[in-house]
Chains A and B, each alone.
Chain A
């Protein structure tokens, strides 16, 4: 990958960084499922695409976390508890993957679980949204923006296993410290097992498992991504697999996008953010399924279709987020979600 080529496509890299940065700040994800195949299409060998994307993720997650922190959306204490569990979960997941790979062809199984998880999560979140909008309180014109707490989260909050902690930013008065550690462990395990960053798993896990507001789930998830991407960047860079100049150019757009995405969460209702997130990961599932089909049937063309599909969906989502932010700025002052 020559430097001249990187410079010649720099405008495209800035634009691409903006798309991924916007979604990162809006959904609380790293965006590897968008960036890695796109860089690959642009000519980056896959290892460089992953390494460069990890470096970008580090920079854009710092930018998005700073913006969310200013909005009061980052629960640092919760993030630290989860990090402890995530580290243990990642180790467990990696161990399981390596033992499965040693015993036979586990890649297909892992890819299938990934697809099922993407579709399952997206369909559940769409179902949750439909249940929400058909509730009687909305029919009476009561303008509720977000729901906090699920049957699972209420059950987890009731568990008394010392030490108990208070997480005021997340609106949790008392919870066993083992619950966030456990949620971190489960999501870290899944991320390492599937070979992904895990933002798309942690964000719903924080909402549905811990029962915290959507905006705080996004901010806290981004705080976690700083550490996971820093470790990944270090590992890839020490092997010489990060294109630093490309990552720096991508970050120019991604930092602005992260700011746009972060502030857009103030103007879009939490439940609507969940719906957009569900749609995005649904199409990510379609993209991964297409790519896998291409491998099974030996049709390389399907991999290209899969990559263009996810770039298209990400661009449409970015446009929606930018429009929502502009409309929000023009109409009403930002407000924190009203919750039930």
Chain B
């Protein structure tokens, strides 16, 4: 089964059970994704910039 489709089915079930919980889940998932991605990108940037600042 397509993993995206499986996720979509779970989300649809959650929404039909409790729209409020679903809305909270949307906020938490998006916030965590944003935080996670920016942390990874910043780490990569820091590693790259420290490498270029110190030739050794």
Contacts and interface: CB of A to CB of B under 8 A. Distances in A.
**Chains A and B bind each other:** yes
A3 B41 CA distance: 28
B34 A62 contact: yes
A251 B15 CA distance: 22
A60 B37 CA distance: 10
A123 B15 CA distance: 46
Contacts of B45: 259, 263
Interface string B19-56: 11011101101110111011101100100000000000
A161 B16 CA distance: 51
B13 interface: no
A234 B2 CA distance: 27
A3 B34 CA distance: 22
A247 B37 contact: no
Given A237-B23, A248-B33, A258 B38 contact: yes
Q: Report the interface size class on chain B.
A: 20 to 34
A257 B7 CA distance: 26
Contact of B27 (A230, A255, A263): A230
A59 interface: yes
B30 A248 contact: yes
B17 interface: no
A129 B34 CA distance: 34
Contacts of B30: 55-56, 58-59, 233, 244, 247-248, 251
Contact of B38 (A66, A235, A240): A66
A67 B42 contact: yes
A61 B27 CA distance: 13
Contact of B37 (A7, A234, A255): A255
Nearest to A234: B23
A125 interface: no
Contacts of A56: 30
A178 B26 CA distance: 34
A238 B37 contact: no
Contacts of B26: 55, 233-234, 237, 242, 244, 247
Given A58-B30, A63-B41, A238-B20, 12 more contacts: A59-B34, A63-B35, A67-B42, A239-B19, A248-B29, A248-B30, A252-B37, A255-B33, A255-B34, A255-B37, A259-B41, A259-B42
